Amino acid sequence: MSTDGRAQTFADALRQFEESGDGGQLVGCFAESPELVRSESNRSTPQDVAEFWNSYRDQFSQVRTEFTTIQEGGDLAVLEWHTRARLDAGRSIDYDGVSVLTFDDQAKVRRFATYFDTAAFLPA
């Protein structure tokens, strides 16, 4: 794992958010009006950062993401991860993905894009 701290700060904030539901630290990782991209929409969303993350967290009764690889270089970071979760409906799911972060000159995330197999969320 190679990191200069920005991506690890993001990863730690995401874990804290998943555990507590308090998004303050995670939202603090982002620049003002960042571009936010998720697999299921495959485009930028017009919502704000807190809304983006709350809509992610609200679908789970429990969620835990483990980062397997964190690589940084220049203004870019790539994080590979595995998530184990329980959907609000009670079904457990496991899925893998990758997130790409682009940082501004203040070490804030100005673009966040995450890609994962959305089939894990379909009814069994």
Q: Is the pTM of this model over 0.95?
A: no
Q: Which CATH class is domain 6-121?
A: alpha beta
Per residue in 40-88, pLDDT tens?
765 554 568 998 999 899 999 999 999 999 999 999 999 999 999 999 8
Q: How much is the pLDDT for 67?
A: 97
Helix axes 49-57, 6-20, angle to 10 degrees: 50
Q: Which amino acid does the sequence have at 54?
A: N
Distance (Å) of CA 83 to CA 11, 28, 121: 13, 22, 12
97 vs 24: CA distance, rounded Å: 24
Residue ranges covered by each domain of the chain: 6-121
